[in-house]
Structure 1
């Protein structure tokens, strides 16, 4: 038996870890620990790409496996998914290598009896993939977006009802693109940051609808970019939440769900002092590390705390970046589409109400509460804000023009959509407490 490459072994381990409940980024960090940079990048593309196209891959495999994918051993199915992604999307991998390495991988996984099955299905996929038809996009739009579009049917149906078939298709296509690399400079202007990056031979361009963001166009340069300019890696949608918040200079700010700290540092760029809290000690360490990296230890205080019972005196402004389904970040976290369920949506809305009520108690009279999520779902966004306002007379939406008009809706909310802006999705509401 030949030995599978270390990248493929790590990819299979990462998929197994996700099946056991880990998030893909943490699973990949653990499985690919110690790999050299090029091998790790290859492994990340294989893992994330497999999650991104899992629905399409499973549809194809289901046409080739005699009893469908549901009958397959989970390890065997993961090997087939990885092999299929290499055949379908990784042109640098010769088909014979994708097949033979998958056979070796299923043997290494302890299922040698499935070697012939894996070989046969992948060989058939390579020969027949152009002849397997998918549901027609016009006759069965939900079926098409579920299979070819590789999204859960319940999400697809929600989006088709809300946005219409064409916009739902555009959203699914946006989610299936590889995310670009963006940074948010700290303590320097965007133009100065771009100049410093050019001096370091890193090409960066401004994002028109997100004035605080730069898109890095030189491949594989996240660490080099952060070495050249004080910044955080942050999607423009997340950076816009800080701009939309429009917190007055010198204000005291609480960030009640702060990890990994990008928004806290954006707020600290203008505020007098930011107290950043998160329930997870591990995640709080990430906030501390990010603040220390840019030399802002004195601007951001970090504490482990439950946002439902925040141990703070009232502040001028409070940011609640609430836990959510994350349906606006499925291109960046493609495993999320297969993890989140309708039951999660119901449970999270209850938690969001609790967090909003607790956050409101931390706002001084006349102060600001900024509620944000990376969800596209109205139940987690507009409906939560409307419910809060109905239960708290005197509070109001305090619309701001700090964010560009194209990402603000008629109610004054921040609303970034992947199919419109080509970035992550984000929602925010700027609420004013009565004086």
Structure 2
């Protein structure tokens, strides 16, 4: 990005995150890298701007498109990102005066190397501010997919899938759940949720229990993750992920292999019951986070971090294996809103093939009588039910083996598989199947 101008550091960082995501980076990784140069107040402001812009990109693009004679496709990508950031400030950030959102966007276009677009940016954003209440969106009842694509801010191909599967009203509830700002949850380790809440109260941190996820605690603003983790031994973890650990029902004293462990929340959750958890991940950087999380709560001896390719795992057979498989992540779009714009229909087939390969490798590690838990944070049948059904058809030595009573009955489907849905539970989506190897 070129120098010059009086643009705030937080806006510069926000644009750089969007540029890096366009180049293939993940938003959280890009943001963590670039936000290191910001103080805590600017970091929080930039985070709201970046994640909010990704969350409402479809809505913003619809509004901007109505104001551009030649449409969004005519714009330089940097200019489009500048407009998106400016539009989010105008539409959603009440603390930002309209004049500042516009003038800062104009200067941001200049320092991004597009000085000729400064007038366009000024004109479009001024027009948006004037016409924001009168710009029209498709009618939900007449064309639900168009409404959910624009006002709902999701890719058309995904909302069409969800409408076909659940119906328009449920798809709308899912989209609305994705478009809410995510809450902060922790998963206490070594202590109960009730004891954790008592300690949080002593530290003057407000919290709430989660009725359907007894291992989870919701942290209420203004407290953040650092304050909560300083008060209790815990990891930051959505209730959906905590429910996967409960559903897994790792046998007491078992040796467990976690084949895709980073950042380590599920591995640490299983370590409460297991004798030892071998935690594998292909990325040295990500596996280092597993070790750091284990050391932070004093459980370094319970977790064995290993850099390994889970298609060729370097382990002996164990009594329990968790495969939290790479997936499209369609259940986590509220927490990772850039994901909705990155995933494509082709990813479903590619990831299903990888998931099948990983399941084959995982199955070979399960001792007779042991359990294999397959999980994802996807909502798509190709990655969930279809993978499990295909696996069972090819492996007659495995059978469904859910442990009754581990999770609420409303979270379990007719085949005994865990299904957490954002539109029903208001948290991330999760799927898990517990399969036993015949002895």
What is the TM-score when the length of structure 2 is the normalising length?
Answer: 0.98
Q: 1:246-279, CA deviations, whole angstroms, 9 ceiling, x for partnerless residues?
A: 1111110000000000000000011110000001
Q: Distance in 1 between matches of 2:124 and 2:132?
A: 11
Matches within 5 A, 1:112-191: 112-191=115-194
Shift of 1:243: 0.2
Q: Is the 8 A contact 1:2 1:104 kept in 2?
A: yes
Q: Distance in 2 between matches of 1:32 and 1:103?
A: 22
Matches within 5 A, 1:163-242: 163-242=166-245
- Local SS of the residue matching 1:370: strand
Q: 1:427 aligns with which of 422, 427, 431?
A: 431
Aligned: 1:262 with 2:265: yes
Q: Distance in 2 between matches of 1:75 and 1:245?
A: 45
> Structure 2: any 5+ residue segments left out of the alignment?
none
Q: 1:229-254, CA deviations, whole angstroms, 9 ceiling, x for partnerless residues?
A: 00000000000000000111111000
- Local SS of the residue matching 2:327: coil
Aligned: 1:383 with 2:386: yes
Q: Distance in 2 between matches of 1:65 and 1:286?
A: 45
Match of 2:415 in 1: 411
Match of 1:276 in 2: 279
What is the TM-score when the length of structure 1 is the normalising length?
Answer: 0.99
Residues 103 and 220 of structure 1, relative CA distance in 2, 3 Å threshold: farther
Q: Distance in 2 between matches of 1:42 and 1:317?
A: 43
Q: Is the 8 A contact 2:363 2:372 kept in 1?
A: yes
Q: Distance in 2 between matches of 1:385 and 1:3?
A: 55
Q: 1:293-352, CA deviations, whole angstroms, 9 ceiling, x for partnerless residues?
A: 111110000100111111100101000000000000000000000000010111000000
Q: Is the 8 A contact 1:182 1:234 kept in 2?
A: yes
- Local SS of the residue matching 1:371: strand
| Misfit runs of 4+, over 2 Å | none
Q: Distance in 1 between matches of 2:193 and 2:221?
A: 17
Q: Is the 8 A contact 2:5 2:111 kept in 1?
A: no
Shift of 1:212: 0.2
> Structure 1: any 5+ residue segments left out of the alignment?
none
Shift of 1:409: 1.1
Shift of 1:394: 2.7
Matches within 5 A, 1:312-391: 312-391=315-394
Q: Distance in 2 between matches of 1:421 and 1:106?
A: 41
Match of 2:71 in 1: 68
Aligned: 1:306 with 2:309: yes
Q: Is the 8 A contact 1:202 1:221 kept in 2?
A: no
